[in-house]
Amino acid sequence: MRPATLDTSCDGAVRGLVSSLAHVRILDLSRQLPGPFCSSLLADLGADVLAIAAPDDPFGVGMSLLARNKRSMRLNLKHAAGRDILHRLAAEADVLLEGFRPGVTARLGIDYPTLAAVNPRLVYCSISGYGQDGPYRDRVGHDINYLGYAGVLEFIGREGGPPVIPGVQKIEPSNGVVAPIASYQPAGLP
């Protein structure tokens, strides 16, 4: 029996795509699904992603599937030494991705105005359930909430019966895909 061979005829094209983000440095402070999913896609495309978790975070840097192609570290942002380390990392980063509730980053001293003073070219991407302002800003938001508000739950389950909670998340992964696109602003545009 002949050993299996691997067709590498398109490897150059794939390497070109993967290396296209090799120069991009991303700090990922997010949790749950949208942020880590976003940064895993960017890491898959070659970005240098550093996932940062709190020392006492029981989930660490999240699901192992979404930790692929990333480096990771634990950092206590509630202490000045931890914030100082993050500020030094942000000075060299291209993107910071965070998923804290509104107001938390300002309280920790890692909000956009603070980090933009360290690195004016930093793309700062905040992923929160209902945005940074508005009437729902302080509400906890997860996939099931969004499906309910959007009216999607009405169409899941038996006709005339109660809604059925989907077995997989439907909206949060799409937020992870949209986040880097929405954060991107070409140079020279307001």
Domains and CATH numbers, the chain: 20-142+172-183 (3.40.50.10540)
**169 contact partners, CB below 8 Å, separation of at least 6:** 33, 143
The 3-state DSSP class for residue 171 equals: coil
Task: For residue 98, list its beta bridge partners.
Answer: 126
Alpha helices in the chain (DSSP H): 11-19, 34-44, 80-92, 104-108, 112-118, 143-150, 172-183
Write out the chain's pLDDT in tens, 190 residues. Answer: 444 444 444 444 444 444 677 888 999 999 877 788 888 888 888 889 999 998 987 776 667 778 888 999 999 999 999 999 999 999 999 999 998 888 999 999 999 999 999 999 999 988 877 777 888 878 877 767 777 777 777 777 888 888 777 766 655 555 545 555 445 544 444 4
**135 contact partners, CB below 8 Å, separation of at least 6:** none
